[in-house]
Amino acid sequence: MIIVTQFKKIGALVLVNRDEVKSSSSDPVFHTRSLLGNDSDDIHVFARHLYEHLRINKPAVFGISLKDYSVKTLTLLKEVLLEHSLCIFGQIVIGPPGSGKTTYCHEMSQFLQQIGRKVAVVNIDPANDGMMYTPAIDIANLITLEEVMVNYHLGPNGGLVYCMEFLEKNMDWLFEKINHFKGHYFIFDCPGQVELYTHHNSVKNITEKLVGFGMHLCAINLIDSHYCSDPGKFISTLLMSLTTMLNIALPHVNVLSKTDLTERYGKLLFHPSFYTEVLDLDYLLDALNEDPFAHKRGLKLNKALVELIEGYNLVSFIPLCIKNKELISRVHAAVDTANGYIFGSGEERNVNALLSSAVGVHFAGGRDTGFEEMSTDP
Ligand SMILES: Nc1nc2c(ncn2[C@@H]2O[C@H](COP(=O)(O)OP(=O)(O)OP(=O)(O)O)[C@@H](O)[C@H]2O)c(=O)[nH]1
Ligand SMILES: [Mg+2]
């Protein structure tokens, strides 16, 4: 129950809930029901608007008792709610080296800002020297890879692990910084070291602590789509993605990045939807069996791996070419669904306006798979 009062009493009680958004083009529908006391339209309008601003995805009861119900008071209350919002949403961008994480953080933050979201990009890659965004929070102010390598005589991989363990032990530093960005949506740019996600515990512990801090997080695992051009590499990509999902244990969105470049590394054996939807993997085994250099024992191992991946039935991908706003929007919709983000007012409409004004995107084929169309782009 949320009490909004200027008279030190609970006031009128109103129940508010919202319908599931059916499509990105439809505005959300709210229902208000008076439970007790004053049943005026003003009270209902206030309850509905405050509920929307709280961004919670379950019904809520408001106790409202105010001196006036003017637009000015409502605007003031919304600002206070946004400042003290209990729900912090964000995405943690992970994946192998060079898969496009930093580029994604920049482009996704631009996209979200354009649709009206306040975004803070947090760099937690201690070796990030090519940031095209200005980080709101930067791990470099806590620790850098370079100083760790020099002071502790570690190589780059050991140094990165040390930095992540250091951050894990100094989460108060991060929480304190996050507190300066109330009402923001957070995007975390992570280092490109696969072991950190597949079996080391620091990133997992860091995300657990962020969730404990009140953050609704989703992991975005970027995988370079050139792995699709080789059946063996694609199987190992699937296995790595599965292991990451199981280890990080957050709501998860896998993304095949750089789809405009996919076929530069060889023609795809199957339709792109085979790779994004991870359809019947026996076809991949057949392709591997046809390889004259494949070792018999390796084939048995591949079969076992495919059975494992299919047994979990968890891995699928969204294609992404970073310059394609429609594909970015698709990833953004999947992430919002995964971490339970509730749209701020007008965001859906802004997405549509943004997509309809996007220039330079040519679709040669159907819109569903994304990357074969983009690979035909100049
Ligand atoms: N063609 C194309 N290039 C991309 C795309 N996304 C990223 N890149 C390029 O891929 C390279 C690596 O991108 P980064 O964003 O630095 O990758 P990263 O995952 O942050 O790299 P590390 O932090 O070193 O692990 C850069 O040259 C980007 O410009 C894309 O969709 N298409
Ligand atoms: Mg990077």
Domains defined along the chain, listed by start: 2-83 (3.30.230.90), 88-374 (3.40.50.300)
Pair of tokens at residue 177: 């910084």
pTM of the model: 0.81
* Predicted pLDDT of residue 92: 98
The CB of 101 under 6 Å from ligand 1? The reply is: yes
Q: What is the dihedral of CA 233, 237, 243, 246, to 10 degrees?
A: -160
> 218 in helix, strand or coil?
strand
Residue 358 — pLDDT band, cuts 50, 70, 90?
A: low
* Predicted pLDDT of residue 85: 62
Q: What's the gap in Å between 125 CA and the centre of ligand 1?
A: 14
Ligand 1 atom closest to Cα of residue 128: 23
Q: Which of 94, 101, 102, 103 to mutate to test the pocket of ligand 1 (most atoms within 8 A of CB)?
A: 103
The CB of 102 under 6 Å from ligand 1? The reply is: yes
Contact assessment for residue 65 and residue 9, using Cβ atoms and an 8 Å cutoff: yes
Residue 45 — pLDDT band, cuts 50, 70, 90?
A: very high
Q: What's the gap in Å between 261 CA and the centre of ligand 1?
A: 11
Atom 29 of ligand 1, nearest CA residue: 103
Residue 374 — pLDDT band, cuts 50, 70, 90?
A: very low
* Pairing state between β 12-18 and 60-65: antiparallel
* Predicted pLDDT of residue 84: 65
The CB of 244 under 6 Å from ligand 1? The reply is: no
Question: What's the pLDDT tens digit per position in 49-79?
Answer: 888 877 666 889 999 999 999 999 998 887 7
- CA-nearest of 331, 335, 319 to 373 is 319
The residue whose two tokens read 């919202």 is 18
The CB of 99 under 6 Å from ligand 1? The reply is: yes
The CB of 97 under 6 Å from ligand 1? The reply is: yes
Pair of tokens at residue 307: 């059975």
Question: What's the pLDDT tens digit per position in 321-357?
Answer: 998 999 999 999 999 989 888 665 567 767 777 776 6
Atom 23 of ligand 1, nearest CA residue: 192
Average pLDDT, the chain: 86
Q: What's the gap in Å between 100 CA and the centre of ligand 1?
A: 3
